[in-house]
Chains A and B, each alone.
Chain A
Amino acid sequence: MFRALSTAGLVSLFAAMAIAQAPQALTVTSPTLKAGETIPRDYTADGKNVSPPLQWSGAPAPTKEFAVVCDDPDVPMPQPFVHWVIYKIPGTAKGLPENIPIDPAAAMPADVAGAVQGTSGFRRPIYRGPAPPPGKPHHYHFTVYAIDAVLDLKPGLTKAELLEAIKGHVVGEGELVAIYERKPSAEQP
């Protein structure tokens, strides 16, 4: 088969194979959020409800920017409940610092300048952490996408809109999954 192709044809074929390859596995960690363990209160609605710090590594060379989605598949709905959508994170970033601002007028931290927040399931363009109905633990998937282009992504995209827009451009993907549970509490007077 290869004998029949011209040089140009070979180059196209290899390029196509590169795109068709499965995304590289990213390693996603956090100094305060441990995989498989309970999410600290301050990243939930039972605490200060600020976004947790995330770190990632292993993004392949073509990476130009990152996107992060946090969602909970344990809700009794057809789709997971989305807690955070954030994208246009610079390709040079190694992670997200804690407490990304909720005030639209406030600037993004310098390392992630230009990052844009999308619309979560709470209909707000900010991080809103776990607030599950009491009774069972829910899983929270912090998924990081490495994207091979600087895409024209408008502010306020939902998770579905974001994933549609980056389709075909995801060269790396990884996740950190942690859990949170609310206990049924006695009624306060």
Chain B
Amino acid sequence: MATQLNGADVVIVGLGAAGGIAALPLAEAGLDVVGLEAGTRLTRRDFAPDEIRNNVRDWPQAVQKTNQEVPTQRPNAGAPTTRASSHPMMNGVGGTTLHYWAQSWRLNPWDFKVVNETVRRYGRSRLPAGTTIEDWPLDYEELEPYYDKVEWETGVAGRAGNIKGALSPAGNVFEGPRQRDYPMPPLRGTGFTDLMAAAARSLGWQPFAGPAQINSRSFQERSACLYHGFCNRGGCHVDAKNGTAVTTIPRAEQTGRFRVVTRAHVTAIDVDARGRVAAVRYLTDGQEFVQPARAVLLAAYTYENVRLLLLSKSRAFPSGLSNKHSQVGRHYLSHAQGGGVTALFPFNLNTWYGLPAQGTAVDDFADDNFDHGSLDFIGGGNLWVYSERRPIGAANMTTFGRAPNWGSAWKAFVKENADRVNTSYLQKTTLPYESNYLDLDPEAKDPLGFPVIRITADYQENERRINTYIQDRMEQWYRAAGAIAVQRNPLGTMGPSTHTYGGTRMGDNPETNVVNRWGFSHEVPNLGVLGGSVMGTSGARNPTLTLQALAWRTADHLVKNWKSIGE
């Protein structure tokens, strides 16, 4: 027998990067907001610098819902499916921002208008075959105030490269113009990242310290980063990493208008006779609860956003909520962020400490920042080198074919070279294609018996050509800095990923998009979707700051239009 709860104005499903942001403007506006989170609260005492627990055993202290819903995957509709053993995202108040890398980039203006810009500069024939890409229904200028809002509200450390048109080489000279600088200077560099910056300059490139959603100095009474080296899949022991659990969620709770419900395993979204969302159903300890709402914001991560919509069938929506045009699951992509390059240096780098966000970036080869006239692809990649390494990871280093993987010869190699290796992070433009989509797997099920998501997707020619080009540049960079050997790692498959986009794409055309330019369903006016699933392109950087800016904008729109949307 389901327990009927008192109604709320807004229910947010999932309190990760996106849901955790939206709670604040809604609560500050005086709306009565309930946040349903499948995970629990974790605090600094749970974040020991422990490589076995963080990186090997993958957070046994967290509720394991995502690990029980790992999507299946296949490169195309003709191939058999396989299934990874673990999910890259986690459940908790703050979601994966509890351990994310916290790199915090704005997209470049080009990412919002790839079609228009490509046609203008190179001709329509340069758009890759099979892509379903559309220009975003908003441009960078329209999102700029929200980027600014999130940067100042949560705390992003960086140096502006373009303030109202005035360029500064200390920042990214390719970025879109911003109204003011970051609230804090960038994280400090290290001997190694400085060496790499000098090498980039010697090549005529324009390196800069990348932005991070991490305190570079004391901010909002939280500590500055202590660079201890356990940030990668690790929680911050001093709350310097500005995930939503230590920033917008507690401030929303302090208004008294936002209630967090933990261990709420959402199973469906109910609609009423008018085809508007009416309630969210969830389980806690096997007991079912029905939480009525005037509006629902779905923020459960790309896979779960799509899955909940497809599972929420009703008479009004027989093929899934907001799916009359069969667009739910379409235009899916996961970021081409594999294919890194690893380098061996003939001297120690002293990179035992630091964090993935402490590094040097080169954006000269991202997006359309360089002339593609004689090239056979569009887009590009961001080159990123950083300082951090942990001992088990070090002992698993590649030997560049110079030693076997165990034994005395291995031991001698590792003893000499453990601190001489560095791996770069290369995020590349990825586009949506007709052939890449999400749907429900016909066989694999979660423990409750619901089908899990099936990913049908692979990198296409454009992504592979970018990959080769960017690896060439990265090898060039490492060698300019003195590396004596490099190894190019595989691009990999489009399996479950931390950077996912599409599935509930945002656009003006309801026949090719699930949500409108404000993030609300074309078919269900009081259903909003938050997260990377609304984004139509990836750009050459992490999605988090952009999806947070979009989430804040969607929440603002809901507040301004509460009468027409919520009532």
Taking CB atoms, residues of chain A closer than 8 Å to B165 are: none
Q: Chain A, 94-130, contact with B by CB distance < 8 Å: what is the 0/1 string?
A: 0000000000110000000000000100001000000
Q: Do A124 and B404 touch across chains, with their CB atoms under 8 A apart?
A: yes
Taking CB atoms, residues of chain B closer than 8 Å to A104 are: 409
Q: Do B401 and A156 touch across chains, with their CB atoms under 8 A apart?
A: yes
Interface on chain A toward B: helix, strand, loop, or mixed SS?
loop
Q: Give how many A residues have a beta carbon under 8 Å from the other chain's beta carbons.
A: 5
Taking CB atoms, residues of chain A closer than 8 Å to B408 are: 105
Bound complex: CA A119 to CA B408 (Å): 19
Q: Chain A, 143-173, contact with B by CB distance < 8 Å: what is the 0/1 string?
A: 0000000000000100000000000000000
Q: What is the CB-to-nearest-CB distance from A128 to chain B, in angstroms, rounded to a whole number?
A: 13
Bound complex: CA A91 to CA B98 (Å): 66
Nearest A-chain residue to B401, judged by Cβ:
A156
Nearest B-chain residue to A124, judged by Cβ:
B404
Bound complex: CA A16 to CA B53 (Å): 69
Taking CB atoms, residues of chain B closer than 8 Å to A105 are: 408
Taking CB atoms, residues of chain B closer than 8 Å to A156 are: 401
Taking CB atoms, residues of chain B closer than 8 Å to A119 are: 401
Q: Chain B, 399-415, contact with A by CB distance < 8 Å: what is the 0/1 string?
A: 00100100011000000
Bound complex: CA A54 to CA B347 (Å): 44
Q: What is the CB-to-nearest-CB distance from B494 to chain A, in angstroms, rounded to a whole number?
A: 26
Q: Give how many B residues have a beta carbon under 8 Å from the other chain's beta carbons.
A: 4
Q: What is the CB-to-nearest-CB distance from B399 to chain A, in angstroms, rounded to a whole number?
A: 11
Q: What is the CB-to-nearest-CB distance from A78 to chain B, in angstroms, rounded to a whole number?
A: 20
Bound complex: CA A124 to CA B401 (Å): 10
Q: What is the CB-to-nearest-CB distance from A155 to chain B, in angstroms, rounded to a whole number?
A: 10
Q: What is the CB-to-nearest-CB distance from A126 to chain B, in angstroms, rounded to a whole number?
A: 10
Taking CB atoms, residues of chain A closer than 8 Å to B404 are: 124
Bound complex: CA A124 to CA B404 (Å): 8
Bound complex: CA A156 to CA B401 (Å): 9
Bound complex: CA A88 to CA B404 (Å): 22
Taking CB atoms, residues of chain B closer than 8 Å to A124 are: 404
Nearest A-chain residue to B405, judged by Cβ:
A123
Q: What is the CB-to-nearest-CB distance from A98 to chain B, in angstroms, rounded to a whole number?
A: 23
Bound complex: CA A105 to CA B409 (Å): 9
Bound complex: CA A154 to CA B428 (Å): 36
Q: What is the CB-to-nearest-CB distance from B408 to chain A, in angstroms, rounded to a whole number?
A: 8
Q: What is the CB-to-nearest-CB distance from B260 to chain A, in angstroms, rounded to a whole number?
A: 52
Q: What is the CB-to-nearest-CB distance from B304 to chain A, in angstroms, rounded to a whole number?
A: 40
Nearest A-chain residue to B403, judged by Cβ:
A104
Nearest B-chain residue to A104, judged by Cβ:
B409
Q: Which of B326-341 contact A (CB under 8 A)?
A: none
Bound complex: CA A117 to CA B409 (Å): 16
Q: Which of B409-428 contact A (CB under 8 A)?
A: 409
Q: Which of A5-59 contact B (CB under 8 A)?
A: none
Nearest B-chain residue to A126, judged by Cβ:
B404
Taking CB atoms, residues of chain A closer than 8 Å to B401 are: 119, 156
Nearest A-chain residue to B404, judged by Cβ:
A124
Bound complex: CA A104 to CA B402 (Å): 12
Q: What is the CB-to-nearest-CB distance from B502 to chain A, in angstroms, rounded to a whole number?
A: 37
Q: What is the CB-to-nearest-CB distance from A84 to chain B, in angstroms, rounded to a whole number?
A: 16
Nearest B-chain residue to A125, judged by Cβ:
B404
Bound complex: CA A124 to CA B405 (Å): 10
Q: Which of B32-48 contact A (CB under 8 A)?
A: none
Nearest B-chain residue to A156, judged by Cβ:
B401
Q: What is the CB-to-nearest-CB distance from B403 to chain A, in angstroms, rounded to a whole number?
A: 9
Bound complex: CA A104 to CA B407 (Å): 11
Looking at A104, A119, A124, the one whose CB has the most chain B CB atoms below 10 A away is A104
Bound complex: CA A177 to CA B408 (Å): 35
Bound complex: CA A88 to CA B506 (Å): 65
Q: Which of B145-190 contact A (CB under 8 A)?
A: none
Bound complex: CA A105 to CA B404 (Å): 13
Bound complex: CA A119 to CA B401 (Å): 10
Q: What is the CB-to-nearest-CB distance from B411 to chain A, in angstroms, rounded to a whole number?
A: 13
Bound complex: CA A124 to CA B406 (Å): 12
Bound complex: CA A50 to CA B401 (Å): 23
Bound complex: CA A126 to CA B408 (Å): 16
Bound complex: CA A95 to CA B393 (Å): 45
Q: What is the CB-to-nearest-CB distance from A120 to chain B, in angstroms, rounded to a whole number?
A: 12
Q: Which of B373-419 contact A (CB under 8 A)?
A: 401, 404, 408-409
Q: What is the CB-to-nearest-CB distance from B95 to chain A, in angstroms, rounded to a whole number?
A: 41
Q: What is the CB-to-nearest-CB distance from B248 to chain A, in angstroms, rounded to a whole number?
A: 50
Bound complex: CA A59 to CA B401 (Å): 34
Bound complex: CA A104 to CA B404 (Å): 11
Bound complex: CA A15 to CA B404 (Å): 45
Taking CB atoms, residues of chain A closer than 8 Å to B409 are: 104
Q: What is the CB-to-nearest-CB distance from B487 to chain A, in angstroms, rounded to a whole number?
A: 14
Bound complex: CA A156 to CA B409 (Å): 15
Q: What is the CB-to-nearest-CB distance from B241 to chain A, in angstroms, rounded to a whole number?
A: 40
Q: What is the CB-to-nearest-CB distance from B496 to chain A, in angstroms, rounded to a whole number?
A: 29
Q: What is the CB-to-nearest-CB distance from A25 to chain B, in angstroms, rounded to a whole number?
A: 35
Nearest B-chain residue to A119, judged by Cβ:
B401
Q: What is the CB-to-nearest-CB distance from A159 to chain B, in angstroms, rounded to a whole number?
A: 16
Bound complex: CA A119 to CA B399 (Å): 15
Bound complex: CA A124 to CA B399 (Å): 13
Bound complex: CA A124 to CA B408 (Å): 15
Nearest A-chain residue to B409, judged by Cβ:
A104
Q: What is the CB-to-nearest-CB distance from B398 to chain A, in angstroms, rounded to a whole number?
A: 13
Bound complex: CA A62 to CA B52 (Å): 61
Bound complex: CA A105 to CA B403 (Å): 13
Q: What is the CB-to-nearest-CB distance from A119 to chain B, in angstroms, rounded to a whole number?
A: 8
Bound complex: CA A104 to CA B412 (Å): 13
Nearest A-chain residue to B402, judged by Cβ:
A156
Bound complex: CA A119 to CA B404 (Å): 11
Bound complex: CA A178 to CA B497 (Å): 49
Q: What is the CB-to-nearest-CB distance from B131 to chain A, in angstroms, rounded to a whole number?
A: 32
Q: What is the CB-to-nearest-CB distance from A121 to chain B, in angstroms, rounded to a whole number?
A: 14
Bound complex: CA A104 to CA B403 (Å): 10
Q: Which of A64-110 contact B (CB under 8 A)?
A: 104-105
Q: Chain B, 209-240, contact with A by CB distance < 8 Å: what is the 0/1 string?
A: 00000000000000000000000000000000
Which 4 residue pairs are nearest across A and B when measured between Cβ atoms?
A104-B409, A124-B404, A156-B401, A119-B401
A/B interface sample: 5 pairs, CB < 8 A: A104-B409, A105-B408, A119-B401, A124-B404, A156-B401
